[in-house]
Structure 1
Amino acid sequence: MVGVHGAGLTHSLFLRPGVVFMQVVPIGAGWLAEVCFANSARAMGLEYLEYRIGVEESSLTDKYGKNSLLIEDPATFRGEKWSSTVMDIYLKEQNVKLDLIRFREYLKEAYKKAEKFMEKEG
């Protein structure tokens, strides 16, 4: 299963242990991705992989510039609180456009893990 961080990844709850689960993590959502899906995926015995997008893969770069604190250091930008404004920026305003050449390497790794699973489980 592969998906961008969001509610749709809750379908991972129905995956069998050993299945490959890859989360595409938008800029600024790293800690949230870990808390919401990565920890539970590991606890359920899934083969968890994570693809953190680069600045050129985020629509926020076009809007705020790649040298913006919002892009360069999301943790400092958001501070200690995850306000509704910060949430809107990182989770609602942001679109992801994958660098398919870079993403391909992650898919190859996922495929290798899936092959091992299929050999073992059939």
Structure 2
Amino acid sequence: MNLKENKEIKEILENVKIGMIDYIEPGETEYTESDVEKCISLMDNFLSEISISDSRENGMQSVKKVVVELNKLNEACEYELIETDQREQLAEIIIIAGSLKGYNDKNEDITEEWRDW
């Protein structure tokens, strides 16, 4: 199961990227397109990892890893990279991925324990 090819996940991730890039105002915003690319790359890596995970325990390790990495990236961007819309969309992608693997319910926020954004 390659979750990077899931239509719903791809759409949401593209919306995250567009939203982050549209918000950039040179000299005003504490992040750049490079930071947006790092965020998308973290999510791509997560989707690759969880796609090949073989247990809930391994899947949740991937969830924790990406959430902590996103926390660090957002902190480095003065907490401006992940705003409300992006927070909801990123969490939704992680929750959908876990749900498709059978690790959680679609209404269960599996990011909350580690999420600062």
By relative contact order (CA 8 Å, sep 6+), the higher-ranking structure is 2
TM range (shorter): 0.3 to 0.5
Q: TM-score, normalised by structure 2?
A: 0.33
Q: TM-score of the superposition, structure 1-length normalised?
A: 0.32
Q: Comparing both structures, which one devotes a greater share of its residues to strand?
A: 1
